[in-house]
Structure 1
Amino acid sequence: MSYRILVVDDDENLLKSLNKILSLQHYSVDAISNPMQVEKLLERNQYHSVLLDVKMPGINGLELLKIIMQKSILTPVIMVSGQSNIEIAMRAIKEGAYDFVEKPIDPDRLLIVLKHALQHQELVEAREKITQELLKNFKMVGKSVALRNISDTIEKIAKTNIKVLITGESGTGKELVAKAIHYNSNRQTKRLSEINCAAIPRDLLENELFGHKKGAFSGAISDYDGQFLETNGGTLFLDEIGDMDIHLQAKLLRVLEENEVNVIGDTTPKKVDVRIISATNKDIEQLIKSGKLRKDLMFRLNGIRIHIPPLRERKEDILPLAYHFLNKFNDSHNRQILKINRQAESYLLNYNWPGNVRELMSVMERLVVFIKGNEITIEDIHRVFNNMNISPTAYSDVIPNLENKLADLRTAHEIFEKNYILEVLEQTDWKKSEAAQILGIDRTNLYKKMRKHGII
C-alpha cells in the first residue's frame, strides 16, 4: 500500500528535503508552501497523514490544524516546529495533533513518528469501520409508534451512564436494544459483556461476575478477574436478571452502590466503572412480591425502563422486519429472493408470532434457504411452518365468536371478510391505499366492500 502524505511548510528548501526523505521510503508526497491551498487539496485527495509547519505567513499552524480536523478528522497531523515554537506545538497536540518533530529535522525521528501515526490511523479507521458496521447491524427495524418511542429513548439515554432495565417477552429483541444503547454510547469502543443469569448456576455465576484470587477455593489455580473487572470502562448486560439467586443479588447491589467489586478470596475491594443494562421476560412486580427479586436492587437497576411490546401488538413492524431479514439472508446465503407476494404478506401480518422477532427471523431464514422461485408465496410459508411444527393460527383473531353455532359457508365467508377488512384497516391506521394493497384489491373495490359490510 502506498501512503499519501501532505507536507505544508513555507520553507522551500525544507520542503525539498522532506520530499526526498519520504519519497526514498516510497511514500507518495504532495509538498506545498502555500497554506491557503490545503483546503482544496483535502477536498480533492485523501491523505494518510499531514506534516504541518507551526508558523507560516497568512495563517498559523493551529488555525490550519482546525481546518484539517474538520475536513478529515481521522487523518493524523504531525506538527513541525522550531525550538522557539515548542510551546505552540504542545498546544496543537492538546487540540488534536498526533505528535510533533523539531527543526532541524532528524530523518530517523521523522520516519518513526510518521510510521506510528500511520499505524494509529489504520487502527482508528478499522475501529470506526467496525463501529459503523455494529451500528448498522443493531439499528431498530420497524415503523410502529412503540418502536419509534424506544429508538427516541435510546438516542436520549445512550451517551449517559444511567442504568437501564429492559422488559418484554422472550424473542422481542431485548439483547438488540442493549447493544443499540452500548454502540451509540461513549463506551462504544470499550467492551460489551453479556451474562445470562438463568443459564449459569449460582456459584459459577458469582465467580463469572466477580472473579477470584488464586487459592480462593479448590481448583482456583490462578487469578480470574471476572466480568466486572474485565468490562471496566464498558457495559455489562445482565440478561434474565429475575433468575439471579437472591443471595447473589445482595453482592450485586453492593457493586451498584459502591462502584467496587469484592473478588472472591481478596480482602481489598477494587474500583470499577461499568454501565449496567439488565433485562427480564418476567413480571417485575410479581418477582418482588414473591421474594425472588430484591426491591432495593430493582430501584438501582431501574434507572430507565424500556418495555418492548410483543410483535403481535405492533403488527406495523412485521413486514419491515420480514424484508430486513429477507435482505440479510439473501446476502448470507447467496440467494436472490426478490419479494413476498401480497397473500404471503397478509399471512405474515396476521399470524400471532408467539416467538416474536426471533421466530420471524427463523421463518424468514428458512424461506430464503428452501424456496425454489424468487418470490415467497403463501404455499412456501405453509411448508416452512409444517417443517418447523408451527401451528398456523394466522386468522384466528379476526374470526368472531359464533357462540358454538355453525353457519353456512356463504355466511361464514361474509363474517370473515368484514372482520378481516376491519383488522387490516386497523393495522394500517385506516390508510385505504395501504389496506387495499395488503388485501390484494384496488381502492375502488375496497370502498365497495366497506359499504357492503356497513363499515362506511
Structure 2
Amino acid sequence: MVSSAKPRILVTDDESSIRSALREILEFEQYEISEAASGDEAFEKLQAESFDLLLLDIKMKGMDGFELLEKLNEARLQLPVIMLTGHGTIEMAVQATRLGAFDFLQKPPDLNRLLITVRNALDKGTLVKENRKMRRNIPQLSEIIGNSEAIQHIKSTIAKVAPTDARVLITGENGTGKELVARSLHEQSRRSGEPFVEVNCAAIPTELLESELFGHEEGAFTGAVSQRIGKFEQAHGGTLFLDEIGDMSLQAQAKVLRALQENTIARVGGTELIRVNVRILAATNKDLRTEIQEQQFREDLYHRLNVIPIHVPPLSDRREDIPLLARAFLRQMATKDIVFEGKSFSDEALEKLQRHDWTGNVRELHNVVERLGILSGGAVITAEDVELMAGPVSKSATDGNQGMRDLLEDYPDFQSFKDATELIFVKYQLDKYQWNISQTADAIGIQRSHLYNKIKKFNLKR
C-alpha cells in the first residue's frame, strides 16, 4: 500500500545515538529520514513539513512524547505514531493507545518487529489518506433521508451515540440502509478522520474470513506467500463495520469475541499479540436471538455487540419518505451522469411509487429511480412510466377505502374482523416503537400487561 515515492519518517529522540541507529536502519530500507532532538523541535517540523510517520521517544527533556502526542491531537496533525521507550509499562502502553498511537515499542527495538511495525503504520496512514480522498471526490447520499418518525428516531439515536465508543448492532431487512447508518455513526464520531473499514461476513468464504479479519503471517497456509494485514489492524484508530455478522462462523465468532474482550489480535499462523484500538459496528438481517436458540450465534458475542440497538425499518413502513428519497436519488445521479440532468417526477408518479411493493427496500427504490431516469421519454417522469417500469402497486399500499373493503369482505363476522384489525394495529405500533413495550403501551393507552397478553394472543414476534 505504500506509494512509490519514499515515505518520510521523522525520528524524535533526545539521544543522538538512538536517532543515528534508527536513521541507518530505516534509510537502508529506502525510507527518507529526518531527525528531531526534542518534542518542541518535532512539533515545529511537523507543522512546517509533511511526514508519513513519527517515531517518538516518550522520555525526553522538555516536552515528552505523551505531551507532544496530545499537542498533535489538539492541532489536528494526523499521522501514524510509533512510541519508543526504554522503560515500558502496561500503563504507558494504555496511555499511548488512548492518545492514538499506532504502536508502542521497547528500546532498543527488535529489528524485525520495528520494520514490520513501520510498514504496517505506513499502510494504515495510506489507507486513512485514501479514505479522506474518496470522501472528498465521490458524491454520496451521506445523510439519512426521511421525515418519518422511525427515521427521526434513528437520527436522534445516532447523534447521541456517535460521539461515544459504544458498540452498535444495526438490524433490518436487506436494502434498508444499514451501511448508511454505520457510516453516519463513523462520520459523526471522534474517529471520523481515521479509517472506516467494512467487512461483508456473508461474502467471504468461512475458511478465508479469519485471515481477512486478523491477517496472516507468511507461510501460515498454502498460498500465504507474504504477510497480510487484516481488517482489525487496518481499522486501528477508526471504525470496523462487520456487515451481515449473522453469517459469521462460530469459530470466527469466538476469535472476534476474544479481540473485543482483550483489544488484541493474533494473525493466522502467528503468536505475537497485536494491540488494536477499533470501534465495532455490526449489522445483520437475521434475528440473532433466534440464531442463538438454534446455536448458530454466540450469546456472549451478541451481548458484546448489542450495547446500542438500532433497527432500520423496511421502506413499506415509512412510505412517506419515498418522495424525498426518489428526488434525492435523482439529484445524486444528475451529479454523475448528464442523462439525469433536468429530470423530475410528477406528483402522480411519486404517489404511485409510494404505493409500490418495495420488497428490496431503499436499494430497490434506487435501482428503479435509475431505470426511470434513463428510460423515461420526457423530462418529467410520469405515473405511466412508473407503472410500466416499476411493476404493479402493492395490495397493502392501496388506498384506505379499498383496503377497508378488502377487510370487510375477508372477515364477515364482528369478532374475526375485530381480531384482524387489532392484530394489524398492535403489530404496527410495536414496529413503530421498535418493540419497546413501555413506550408502545403508553402510546396506545393500555397497560404493559395487556400489551403482553395481546402479543401472546396473536403470537407476534419481532
Give me the TM-score of the superposition, normalised by structure 1.
Answer: 0.59
Displacement of 1:394 in angstroms is 5.9
Aligned with residue 154 of structure 1, among 139, 153, 158 = 158
Q: Matches of 2:355 and 2:258 in 1, distance apart?
A: 47
Paired residues for 1:30-429 under 5 Å: 96=75, 137-334=141-338, 335-385=340-390, 390-393=391-394, 397-398=398-399, 399=402, 400-401=405-406, 403=409
* Cα deviation code 1:415-451 (max 9, x no counterpart): xxxxxxxxxxxxxxxxxxxxxxxxxxxxxxxxxxxxx
What SS class does the counterpart of residue 403 from structure 1 fall into? helix
Q: Do 2:131 and 2:196's aligned partners in 1 also have CA atoms closer than 8 Å?
A: no
* Cα deviation code 1:33-68 (max 9, x no counterpart): xxxxxxxxxxxxxxxxxxxxxxxxxxxxxxxxxxxx
* Runs of at least 5 residues in structure 2 that lack an aligned partner in the other structure: 1-46, 50-61, 78-127, 412-462
Q: Greater CA deviation, 391-400 or 292-301?
A: 391-400
Q: Do 2:168 and 2:307's aligned partners in 1 also have CA atoms closer than 8 Å?
A: yes
Displacement of 1:367 in angstroms is 1.0
The 1:380/1:337 distance shift into structure 2, 3 A limit, reads: farther
Q: Do 1:351 and 1:395's aligned partners in 2 also have CA atoms closer than 8 Å?
A: no
Q: Matches of 2:301 and 2:141 in 1, distance apart?
A: 32
**Equivalent AA in structure 2 for residue 182 of structure 1:** H
Displacement of 1:349 in angstroms is 1.3
What SS class does the counterpart of residue 169 from structure 2 fall into? strand
Q: Do 2:140 and 2:332's aligned partners in 1 also have CA atoms closer than 8 Å?
A: no
Q: Matches of 1:350 and 1:280 in 2, distance apart?
A: 27
Give me the TM-score of the superposition, normalised by structure 2.
Answer: 0.58
Displacement of 1:191 in angstroms is 1.1
What SS class does the counterpart of residue 409 from structure 2 fall into? coil
**Equivalent AA in structure 2 for residue 393 of structure 1:** S
Displacement of 1:358 in angstroms is 0.4
Alignment correspondent of 1:411: none
Q: Matches of 1:126 and 1:207 in 2, distance apart?
A: 23
The 1:394/1:132 distance shift into structure 2, 3 A limit, reads: farther
Alignment correspondent of 1:443: none
Q: Matches of 2:257 and 2:131 in 1, distance apart?
A: 34
Q: Matches of 2:355 and 2:196 in 1, distance apart?
A: 36
Q: Runs of at least 4 residues of structure 1 off by over 4 A?
A: 93-98, 124-136, 394-397
What SS class does the counterpart of residue 222 from structure 1 fall into? coil
Q: Matches of 2:271 and 2:303 in 1, distance apart?
A: 28
Q: Matches of 1:175 and 1:364 in 2, distance apart?
A: 20
The 1:258/1:171 distance shift into structure 2, 3 A limit, reads: same
Q: Matches of 1:297 and 1:261 in 2, distance apart?
A: 16
Q: Matches of 2:226 and 2:270 in 1, distance apart?
A: 13
Displacement of 1:192 in angstroms is 1.1
- Larger Rg computed on CA atoms: 1
The 1:332/1:383 distance shift into structure 2, 3 A limit, reads: farther
The 1:97/1:313 distance shift into structure 2, 3 A limit, reads: closer
**Equivalent AA in structure 2 for residue 258 of structure 1:** E
The 1:228/1:393 distance shift into structure 2, 3 A limit, reads: same
The 1:186/1:131 distance shift into structure 2, 3 A limit, reads: farther
The 1:185/1:256 distance shift into structure 2, 3 A limit, reads: same
The 1:133/1:216 distance shift into structure 2, 3 A limit, reads: closer
Q: Matches of 1:262 and 1:393 in 2, distance apart?
A: 51
The 1:336/1:394 distance shift into structure 2, 3 A limit, reads: farther
Q: Greater CA deviation, 360-369 or 326-335?
A: 326-335
Q: Matches of 2:319 and 2:76 in 1, distance apart?
A: 51
Alignment correspondent of 2:453: none
The 1:395/1:291 distance shift into structure 2, 3 A limit, reads: closer
The 1:77/1:255 distance shift into structure 2, 3 A limit, reads: closer
Q: Matches of 1:266 and 1:142 in 2, distance apart?
A: 47
What SS class does the counterpart of residue 137 from structure 1 fall into? coil
Q: Do 1:330 and 1:368's aligned partners in 2 also have CA atoms closer than 8 Å?
A: no
Counting matched residue pairs gives: 291
The 1:287/1:384 distance shift into structure 2, 3 A limit, reads: same
**Equivalent AA in structure 1 for residue 346 of structure 2:** N
**Equivalent AA in structure 1 for residue 157 of structure 2:** T
Displacement of 1:352 in angstroms is 2.4
Q: Greater CA deviation, 392-401 or 159-168?
A: 392-401
Q: Do 2:326 and 2:369's aligned partners in 1 also have CA atoms closer than 8 Å?
A: yes
What SS class does the counterpart of residue 150 from structure 1 fall into? helix
* Cα deviation code 1:322-358 (max 9, x no counterpart): 1101111222221334431122121111112111100
The 1:367/1:337 distance shift into structure 2, 3 A limit, reads: farther
Displacement of 1:158 in angstroms is 1.1
Alignment correspondent of 2:54: none
Alignment correspondent of 2:11: none
What SS class does the counterpart of residue 165 from structure 1 fall into? strand
